[in-house]
Amino acid sequence: MVIIGILAAFFAPRFFATSPFAIRGYSDETRAVIAYAQKLAVASGCDTRVEVDAAGYRIGRWAACRPAAGAHTAATSTVGAPGGGTLAAPPPAGVTVTSPVEFFFDRIGRPRAVAATPDLITDPAALRVTVSGNVIGIEPETGLVRRQ
């Protein structure tokens, strides 16, 4: 009985820890939202902005479907989520986001820089975000979003 009590005291906190689930859940959610942003850009033919940083993720669009040259640096409005709400969420407690990214998907799903001249992003390192050790990468040529 004493041995069972000692084992329970040692292993019970690890068994009921929610941190690994929160990390994996938020990582998967972030990956899915980025992939949705690409699909939204392709389906609508409108540029869709993606921001992922320590404050969370945000998906936005400009007032004009495809902003004029130099206007890609202007503010965007948040995109509505399919089930209601917006496509923006902060990370849960204990989850950290490093390697922030900011880009937009053009109408054929390629990632481009949010800049006065929105060039294609060709460096894969510029399209990686890390959520508590889980790396999410976006392929420069195709916009494919995947776990790395």
Task: Encode pLDDT of 55-79 as tens digits.
Answer: 999 999 988 887 877 778 787 888 8
Number of structural domains found in the chain: 1
What is the DSSP code string of the chain? Answer: -HHHHHHHHHHHHHHT--HHHHHHHHHHHHHHHHHHHHHHHHHH-S-EEEEEETTEEEEEE-SSSSPPTTGGGS--EEPBPTTSSBSEEPPPTT--EES-EEEEE-TTS-EEESSSS-PBP--GGGGEEEETTEEEEE-TTT--EEE-
Q: Which domain holds residue 76?
A: 19-147
What pTM, to 2 d.p., does this model score?
A: 0.83
> What is the domain-level CATH number for residue 84?
3.55.40.10
Please check whether residue 29 lies inside any domain of the structure.
yes
What pLDDT, in 10s, does the model give residues 94-127? Answer: 889 988 999 999 999 999 998 878 889 999 999 9
